[in-house]
Amino acid sequence: MPPRSGLGKGLDALIPTGQKTSGPGREGGLTQIPVDSIQRNPRQPREKFDLEELENLAASIREHGVIQPLIVSPGKNGIYILIAGERRLQAARKAGLKTVPVVIRNATDQQLLELALIENVQRADLNAIEEAEAYQHLEKEFKLSHEEIAARVGKNRSTVSNTIRLLEASAAVKQALVNGQITEGHARSMLKLPARAQEELLNKIITLDLSVRTTEMMVKKYSGQRPLSKKKASQSADAADVERRLRSSLGTQVALKHRKSGGGTVTIYYYSNEDLDALLEKLT
């Protein structure tokens, strides 16, 4: 694999300093090119942009111009591929600019992904799932190891590995993470559970505002109770329905044991003081 100088050093290594402005199409230095000639990076991992932040940036650009140049790669027929500066490009368009300052760099498909990823990671612009998907592209499409990816984005190998693991979560858990309803710690702790159990626990986390520590304790309980579910095969449909309704109403695990004589027991599980307080509010 050929060396990739500068990538591991981040975006600063891509922006030359002390160079004079060069003409369009030449690598290095600064130049002005039409906004309409810049195409979005097809390898851009970021999908969501804060509209209010874009409007604020556009207002600043109207007053002061684009202070930090964009980084682009020459494409075909006078088109340039954006490497770094997605927010600045969108804001410049909103501000009505016709041209923007750029640094032109030649880049391969792999470098387009790496550099867009570096920019977003360094600025903390990606959500966890976008970051995980970008790492996975580097791993699967370009055959990079977690160690190599970590070197390129300036993170520990374990951080990269743990981020990629988030893609194993159920669809509901991943969406909750993107929406900011749970943290990466919550999502990672649920990976040991099957999808249905993840979603059941997810509802409790959101409803009861559970901490990561409490979630980890509940995962252990769920894991330990899974073998018991086999015994419920002999449970009547009515008893199972009552148990489901109780779980839904109380927002926690409930075990119903119904005797043929008509009596029985209902066991309500809680996993922290916060859980107990929430149960007391519902039951009293």
200 labelled catalytic: no
Query: What are the helix (H) ranges across the chain?
Result: 51-64, 86-94, 109-122, 128-140, 146-153, 157-165, 171-178, 184-189, 195-208, 212-225, 237-250, 273-283
Residue 63: CB atoms within 10 A of its CB come to: 7
Rounded Cα gap, residues 41 and 121, in angstroms: 16
Place of tokens 């020459």: 74
By the 10 Å C-beta count (0-12 exposed, 13-18 middle, 19+ buried), 52 is classed as: exposed
Q: Reduced to 3 states, what is the DSSP secondary structure of residue 134?
A: helix
What lies within 8 Å, CB to CB, of 238 at 6+ separation is none
Catalytic residue among 63, 86, 133, 168: 86
Query: Would you please indicate which residues are annotated as catalytic (active-site) residues?
Result: 86
